[in-house]
Amino acid sequence: MPLSVTHRFPLRPMRRLHGFSLLIMVMWLAGCAGTPRMQTSDMAGPISEQQDLSIERVLVMNHARDALGTPYKYGGTTPSGMDCSGLTQASFLAAGIDIPRTSQQQFDGLQRIERARPGDLMFFGSGNSVSHVGIYMGNNQMIHAPGSGRQVTLAGLDNRYWRSHYRGAAAPAP
């Protein structure tokens, strides 16, 4: 018997595997296409020396900075405990700016911008839903309330998690 006849491999399962792999790659690329690119504009120097920031932005950022170390509390908006959207709502209220309560309501109700500046909101989630919000502080960092058992903290945005879950930014302050 010739060698080629005894050692034949069926091509159909290999083609199916190749087709399945191709389908997975296309779906993965399509998912990446829906994620906006995180863009920021920073200014040099301490907040108090940044001439281009409005007083409202400075107040928002100072309130958020004062909240560092506050324990996370779902639904909280006070120094005894706050969640991510409670932090953002309280910080903007300290500057006289009323914004919606939840991160999804903030995302849906505020006009989005292309490039975040210090004092802007940054939204994170998956698909069309938003589940997290923070305040951009400049230098590729945000202040946010990360979740149960943790505290309001400063986070670097170079993390792959933030980049892959980024949904957009809004500028409620002038």
| Whole-angstrom distance, CA of residue 166 vs CA of residue 61 | 20
Which residues belong to the active site?
84, 132, 144
Which residue is listed with tokens 């309280």? 90
| Whole-angstrom distance, CA of residue 83 vs CA of residue 63 | 15
Give every CB contact of residue 91 below 8 A, 6+ residues apart in sequence. Answer: 60, 61, 63, 64, 67, 135
Q: At what angle do helices 55-66 and 84-94 cross, to 10 degrees?
A: 140
In 3-state terms, what secondary structure has residue 40? strand
The number of angstroms, rounded, from the C-alpha of 72 to the middle of its chain's C-alpha atoms is 18
